[in-house]
Chain A
Amino acid sequence: MAEEIKTDDNKILEEIGDYKYGFHDRDDNYVFKSERGLSREVVENISRMKGEPQWMLDFRLKAYEHYINRPMPNWGPTLDEIDFDNIFYYVKPTEKSEKNWDNVPDDIKNTFNKLGIPEAEQKFLAGVGAQYESEMVYHSILEHLEKQGVVFLSIEDGLKQYPDLFKEYFGTVIPIEDNKFAALNSAVWSGGSFVYVPKGVTVDLPLQAYFRLNTANVGQFERTLIIVDEGASVHYVEGCTAPQYTTNSFHSGVIEIIVKKGARSRYSTIQNWSTNVFNLVTQRAKVFANASHEWVDANLGSKLTMKYPSCYLMESGAHGEMLSMAFAGPGQTQDAGSKMMHFAPNTTSKIVSKSISKGGGRASYRGMVKVYKGSKGVKSNVVCDALLLDPKSRSDTYPTIEIDEDDVTIGHEASVSKVGEEQLFYLMSRGLSEEEATTMVVSGFIEPLVKELPMEYAVEMNRLIQLQMEGSIG
């Protein structure tokens, strides 16, 4: 029976109550005077601060040139509100910690409290914390990984310690020219992770970005590079469910993943930005023969999120998957989806996109499945389900399917539903309040995604949905 009932939320919550995660601060004691706006000098400064090799400086400058010359994307949601001249493109970590706890908005603090996060850690998550240390846990995890030959470093340390490996792959999955914001990130990137999993190694615990310091406080222009060598397997988890408060209202990350022959990888994101943030992220995996990559992506918060994680299926037998959930609350736009590019025969892909709109929020699915000529035997299936919680809210789907090959099997289903009156009545007839009943329907709706998350994230995720739903009725 114990195994049959898997919903022991309380017990799990008890366990995550005593937060065991360790954080470690970096020693950045160089001096850099940040200025608003972007220029060639700012880019040069960033590179110099980080003590980078010439090739990286060249890369950044080339990206800068591309960025300033490339027009703003004119499809999708408007970006007019972003004041690009008023952004700090590089903020030294010590400056981040000078932010004042008193300036963190109350609603963010309240959510921290409701999630049961200890105050020291709240400050850390809000980016105003001093050093928050639990060296023991941090070190034992790193040791465990090291024994397997796994590299798990900050992106900066990755470049320093593994220059050849780094250079071989960096920018190969998402080139500078990919899109305007990938170019911007390439010019000013800072922070993020570097992961290498050697051939045949199975990493038996999820690599959690927030085990590491400075990745919890995700930079505005974070950059992550993950290489999963042949036959290896890894699950990387990014983000955390606490709202990530930041005074920087613009976030544009780039995540590049290489999944070699026969390897398996999964990248899970739970993002809960404060509602002033514009979040424009480029995430892509290149997947080789018989390898597979899965994106599991939950987006809450932010003012606008534009995010279309993609899989480039390069060789026969490659498989790509996207399982995403977006929650658009009042004043929010979640424009999310996925791209599956089938470059080789017998490649397969699957997209499951779930969105919830509430209080006038707007959630869109924007996706692309492309099958190139000669890619025989491709199979792809797309399922988009949208749930509208009230008549003010909105959901749209923009699916694109381009197929240059006959011998393929493609499926696409889209559904928009409202929380059914009959469902609410049924649940309320068992004593659940209207709010509890609605929350239960919403939790059930995203269950296919939540059950893919590591246990502690799943529990926090459910709790977070409850918080989003609180006070939404009546």
Chain B
Amino acid sequence: MSQLEIKNLHVSIEDKEILKGLSLTINQGEIHAIMGPNGTGKSTLAYTLMGHPNYTVTKGEIIFKGKNVLELEPDERSRAGIFLAFQYPVAIPGVTVANFLRTAINSRRRAENPEDKGMPIPEFRKMLKEKMDTLKMDHNFAGRYLNDGFSGGEKKRAEILQMATLKPEIAILDETDSGLDIDALRIVSEGVNALSGPDLGVLVITHYQRLLNYIKPNFVHIMLDGRIVESGGADLALHLEEQGYDWVREKYEEPA
């Protein structure tokens, strides 16, 4: 079943068109990678999928599990199973990672069943501990304020910890590899791989082929100026790594 269908998506920020007719279908169990030069609209796509209020969809459709995503608020999208690992995670001072995750879990449970009493503390603790172990995170991380003073790498790990906790059906990873050292890259990738399977669709946004050695994509897409211009298999990423974007630009960029 096709999980996520993006059809002819046009998106503007403050009247400036950033996405100019982007189409992409991600099925369950598939891993897609998007690569493309800075400023081509990759994060714009990610934010739009999640429902950021500043991004206006002027045309096109986003369908997820048969539902029109564009009608849903970000929290409803999240509860429907969409997850975004942010390129720049936001700090929430004074709110611990544990408190935040528990609130998120309980809020989702309550949305499903208003009578729900929330996840029992021992169960939550055990679950969180296991997930943190998988990502080789120190347990006292749970008591730190969310993204507040986290190093770049810690932020990215915390994003994957959230993904592991919230168990999405489609995960968008926006440059989760940037800022990670080599060991962390491996650990985080293993974490993502442990979560992937026939029920999870993944969209990886990255600049580096290196990540794709760990998270092996079924499809690689090249984005340029708000559109997907080339699609292929994993070898397309290798090709890009060697050749850069010049050939893509020559082929697709409209002469100024």
Contacts and interface: CB of A to CB of B under 8 A. Distances in A.
Interface of A: 1-2, 4-8, 10-11, 420-423, 425-434, 436-437, 440-441, 443-448
B89 interface: yes
Contacts of A444: 92-95, 145
B111 interface: yes
Nearest to B102: A7
B100 to A, nearest CB: 7
Contact of B129 (A1, A7, A421, A446): A1
Contacts of A431: 75, 78-79, 104, 107-108, 111, 166
Given A8-B121, A421-B53, A430 B78 contact: yes
Interface in B149-166: 162, 166
A110 to B, nearest CB: 19
10 contacts: A4-B139, A8-B121, A429-B83, A429-B86, A431-B79, A440-B92, A444-B93, A445-B93, A447-B93, A448-B94
B249 interface: no
B73 A428 contact: yes
A138 B90 CA distance: 48
From A420, A422, A445, name the one whose CB has the most chain B CB atoms within 10 angstroms. A422
Chain B's interface size range is: 35 or more
Contacts of A7: 96, 98-99, 102
A5 B125 contact: yes
Contact of B75 (A1, A420, A422, A428): A428
A440 B125 contact: no
Nearest to B99: A7
B121 A11 contact: yes
A390 to B, nearest CB: 16
Contacts of B90: 420, 422-423, 425-426
Contacts of A445: 93-94
Contact of A10 (B95, B96, B118, B162): B118
Contacts of A446: 94
A8 B124 CA distance: 10
B131 to A, nearest CB: 12
Nearest to A447: B94
Nearest to B128: A5
B103 interface: yes
A5 B94 contact: no
Given A429-B50, A430-B162, A4 B142 contact: yes
Nearest to B97: A5
B107 A436 contact: yes
Given A5-B98, A429-B84, 20 more contacts: A1-B125, A1-B129, A1-B142, A2-B125, A4-B143, A5-B96, A6-B143, A11-B121, A420-B90, A421-B53, A421-B54, A425-B74, A427-B100, A428-B51, A428-B78, A429-B74, A430-B75, A430-B100, A430-B162, A443-B94
B140 interface: yes
Interface string B111-145: 10000001001000100110000000001101101
